[in-house]
Chains A and B, each alone.
Chain A
Amino acid sequence: MCEGGARKEEAQTRLVTVKSKILGKNDEIAECNRNWLKERGVLAMNLISSPGSGKTMLLERTLEALDGKLKCAVIAGDQRTDNDAKRLEGKGAAVVQIETVSSCHLDASQVHDMLPEVVTEGTKLLFIENVGNLVCPSSFDLGESFKVALLSTTEGEDKPAKYPSLFSRASVVLLTKMDLVEHLDWDLDACLASLRSIRPDASVFQVSARTGQGMESWLDFLLEQSA
């Protein structure tokens, strides 16, 4: 900044040390959500991926499979439309949509406002489908039990190394659209190596919501985690 020569007039200044987290308010609300969910014994997952990696389709198949077995709830976030919520309705789970309008991520207060409506008595699993975006949602804690990153086979192998802010935080990773692998030059080992380099202890599931491949292990994992 150009100071323009002359000293500023006698203005008094004072330096204050703050050291506060910029998203401290969001983190506080997230913590409140986390406690609220914990008290009710609800396992909450924050699903994050690029647009179109298959979050909604995975949830469609997951809700259908768990219908009558485990009570589920869904919060779906998109910038516009309630298309995703409509796709998820009628599968035995309570579903609400949050339209974030100009925002590229869900934040803790949006989730906070929806929780009492969508998480009713007896709910065991809450899926939060975040806005399709690999970067922004990773900075905002929603109060989830853990983050689930989805990476579709059409996106290439090296996304984890390119987007460490998400992949270093996601303890569970789903490689989606595995049915397409035969049409691609996608290399599973390279993808896993990229992932391990960022998050060596991630639980990885290889699934196709389209063919049902790998869905069993994902569902077993959910049943086991919610127990």
Chain B
Amino acid sequence: MHELSIAQSLVEELDAITIREGALRVNSFRLDIGAISGVEQHALEMALPFAAEGSNAEGATFDINIVVTRVKCKGCGNSWEPETFIGRCRSCDSNDIAIVAGREMVLVSVELET
């Protein structure tokens, strides 16, 4: 259950933003979570309200946007969205493939009550 540590880090960040912006509390926030980030959406949804208790983000609503995996061949620049398998490049057969999206764990935006 590392979703709880992730939720705790997030709540710390939300607290810090509320203070920095001189706001009263967090109304809502948006997250980008990559499909292969290792974070399970449901577990994070469960952990967040729990981690937010007693913080400036208590009771805040949130949207989680799942970012699909995208890879790019370093050889020929070909880019595609693999289902589960990354594998080799379909156009030049290179195995030098970079993951360009899918690992995100990003706090995108916060709606603050001021």
Contact = CB atoms under 8 A, between A and B. Distances in A.
The 4 closest A-B pairs by CB, nearest first: A165-B38, A200-B95, A136-B2, A197-B85
B96 A22 contact: no
B111 interface: yes
A136 B31 contact: no
A21 B109 contact: no
Nearest to B109: A17
Contacts of B9: 22-23, 25-26
A11 B111 CA distance: 12
A104 B27 contact: no
Interface string A144-176: 000000000000000001001110100000000
Contact of A197 (B13, B23, B86, B113): B86
Interface string B33-55: 00011110000000000000000
B57 interface: no
State the main secondary structure of chain B at its contact with A: mixed
A198 to B, nearest CB: 6
A200 B103 CA distance: 18
Nearest to A27: B105
Nearest to B110: A16
Q: Chain A CB within 10 Å — which of B38, B96, B99, B106 has the most?
A: B38
Interface string B86-101: 1110000001110100
A225 interface: no
Given A22-B6, A197-B85, A200-B97, A16 B109 contact: yes
Interface of A: 1, 11-26, 103-105, 107, 135-140, 161, 164-166, 168, 196-201
B107 A16 contact: no
5 contacts: A1-B61, A11-B113, A16-B21, A25-B12, A136-B1
Given A164-B84, A197-B84, A200-B95, 17 more contacts: A1-B61, A15-B111, A16-B110, A16-B112, A17-B109, A18-B13, A18-B107, A22-B13, A22-B107, A105-B5, A137-B2, A165-B36, A166-B38, A200-B86, A200-B87, A200-B97, A201-B95
A26 to B, nearest CB: 7
Q: Which of B2, B10, B97, B106 has the most CB of A within 10 A?
A: B2
A18 B109 contact: yes
Given A14-B111, A14-B112, A165-B38, A20 B88 contact: no
A168 B114 CA distance: 43
B19 to A, nearest CB: 12
B36 to A, nearest CB: 5
Nearest to B13: A20
A139 B38 contact: yes
Given A1-B61, A165-B38, A22 B105 contact: yes
